[in-house]
Amino acid sequence: DTAVSQTPKYLVTQMGNDKSIKCEQNLGHDTMYWYKQDSKKFLKIMFSYNNKELIINETVPNRFSPKSPDKAHLNLHINSLELGDSAVYFCASSYYDRVGGYTFGSGTRLTVV
Amino acid sequence: KQEVTQIPAALSVPEGENLVLNCSFTDSAIYNLQWFRQDPGKGLTSLLLIQSSQREQTSGRLNASLDKSSGRSTLYIAASQPGDSATYLCAVDSSNTGKLIFGQGTTLQVKP
């Protein structure tokens, strides 16, 4: 299936831990994104990578570090997790010119306890 | 700064009704506008994509329109069904930033 896939789907962890979320797309897109959906269901962009290069970096704590080993993968590493990091994180991809719109993954629900 | 607003926040209709969801945006310099559907606990499913040069797009019972000059888009759902119950999100791709800016969504309930 052509898609954007994220792992894990659910992540429960204690405060202070470090965790990673992985994302892969097989759509041939060259740009990938991380979005965060908060408890009020509002979606906001965090990062964007084009061909492994960071092009959008919103005001996100530097505990969040994205890494793109190639244009088909974009991982999100979070250090020293805090309660406020609990949210659903969505990966998305598109072509750089966004002609075909965006395709989103199914999300990773992160719960920090 | 682009802001996207969706009205109403929630809507409950009986099965079979035609309905309209509204989306407004503050900056008309958009690249495209995309409507998504989100089921509870699930990801985003793309419904319709309207390029800035287009006025509308149709897919089955769904029709989305775009009026850039007034900063508005509507999603029309014909003959609603209980399976249409979900949250509908409008997202604007602003030309200058390459960011997808989302509205807060409209949660639709279609009662049998």
Pick the residue from chain A with its C-alpha nearest to B40: A41
pLDDT for A102 equals 93
Interface test with A, best of B39, B47, B93, B100 (most A CBs within 10 A): B100
Contacts with B, A 1-30, CB within 8 Å: none
Q: How far away is chain B from the Cα of A38, in angstroms, using its nearest Cα?
A: 11
Q: Which conformational region is residue B52 in: left (phi greater than 0), alpha (psi within -120 to 50 degrees), or beta?
A: alpha
Pick the residue from chain B with its C-alpha nearest to A106: B43
Cα pseudo-dihedral A1, A23, A95, B4, rounded to 10: 110
SS3 label, residue A8: coil
Instruction: Please give the average per-residue pLDDT across A4-10, as a whole number.
Output: 95
| CA-based nearest residue to A35, from B16, B111, B36, B77 | B36
In the numeric block, which tokens belong to residue B80? Answer: 């609603």
Q: How far away is chain B from the Cα of A51, in angstroms, using its nearest Cα?
A: 15
Q: How far away is chain A from the Cα of B70, in angstroms, using its nearest Cα?
A: 22
Q: Looking at chain A, how many residues does it have?
A: 113
pLDDT for A97 equals 84
Q: How far away is chain A from the Cα of B5, in angstroms, using its nearest Cα?
A: 11
- Confidence grade of residue A12 (pLDDT, cut at 50, 70, 90): very high
What CA–CA distance (Å, rounded) separates B83 from B104? 21
Per-residue pLDDT at A2 exceeds 70:
no
Would you give per-residue pLDDT tens digits along chain B (112 residues)?
899 999 999 999 999 999 999 999 999 989 899 999 999 888 899 999 999 999 999 999 999 999 999 999 999 999 999 999 999 999 999 866 678 999 999 999 999 9
| Chain B contact set for A41 (CB, 8 A) | 87, 104-105
- Among candidates A43, A44, A103 on the partner chain, residue whose Cβ is nearest the Cβ of B46: A103
What CA–CA distance (Å, rounded) separates A36 from A32? 14
A60, A44 in Cβ contact below 8 A?
Answer: no
